[in-house]
Amino acid sequence: MNCSIARALDEVGEWWTLLIVRECTQGSTRFDEFQGALGIARNVLAARLERMIELGILERFPLAARANTFGYRLTTKGADLYPVLVALMQWGDKWLAVDGRAPIALVEEASGEPVETMGVTGAHGRALRFQDVRFAPGPGATGATHAVIETRNVRVLGDADD
């Protein structure tokens, strides 16, 4: 499937993957820390960690305090998932928080100001809805992709302009 969302979900769409990434952003590095925080079965965690290493989301590194023991940390590819986590968290806070009360607030370390809500913005900072965005072929577009783009733009935007 020539779809970036489908390819991304193939790598990070499994339930535990983003929770392991979340734990990394909270400072966890050791197998037992992940297992304790997530309550995940050891065999499932071991398989997920290995798969995430294969995919280049995590890397293994030696723990100085423990001989012959390794920790896990995010690669650049893994750290690039942070905005995805924040967007999911903010969506969950808006639509699923008990009594509308978010359990955690994100604030910028340097200023102490709340982190802005993630969203799609235009060139001048205006918030955009999906109805405000036109799809255009990217460099990896195939013939099928062109058809999807044209159909989507007609259905959502109501015109056939490319």
Q: What is the pLDDT of residues 131-161, one digit of tens each?
A: 999 999 999 999 999 999 999 999 999 975 5
Domain boundary among 79, 109, 132: 79
Buried b (16+ CB within 10 A) or exposed e, 119-143: eeeeeeeeeeeeeeeebeeeeeeee
Which residue in the block uniquely carries the two structure tokens 């195939």?
Answer: 142
Asked if 9 and 66 sit in the same domain, the reply is: yes
Question: Please, what is the end-to-end C-alpha distance for the chain in angstroms?
Answer: 22
Asked if 10 and 28 sit in the same domain, the reply is: yes
| Total residue length of the chain | 162
Asked if 75 and 8 sit in the same domain, the reply is: yes
Asked if 66 and 100 sit in the same domain, the reply is: no
Asked if 43 and 109 sit in the same domain, the reply is: no
Asked if 15 and 62 sit in the same domain, the reply is: yes
pLDDT surpasses 80 at 38 = yes
Q: What is the pLDDT of residues 6-33, one digit of tens each?
A: 999 999 999 999 999 999 999 999 999 9
Read off the pTM: 0.90
The two three-digit tokens of residue 75, written as one number: 């690669």
Mean pLDDT, rounded, for 58-76: 92
- Domain extent at residue 106: 82-117
Asked if 19 and 73 sit in the same domain, the reply is: yes
The confidence score (pLDDT) of residue 162 equals 47
Asked if 113 and 46 sit in the same domain, the reply is: no
Structural domains of the chain, count:
3
Asked if 52 and 15 sit in the same domain, the reply is: yes
Q: What is the pLDDT of residues 72-103, one digit of tens each?
A: 999 999 999 999 999 999 999 999 999 999 99
Domain boundary among 57, 79, 101: 79
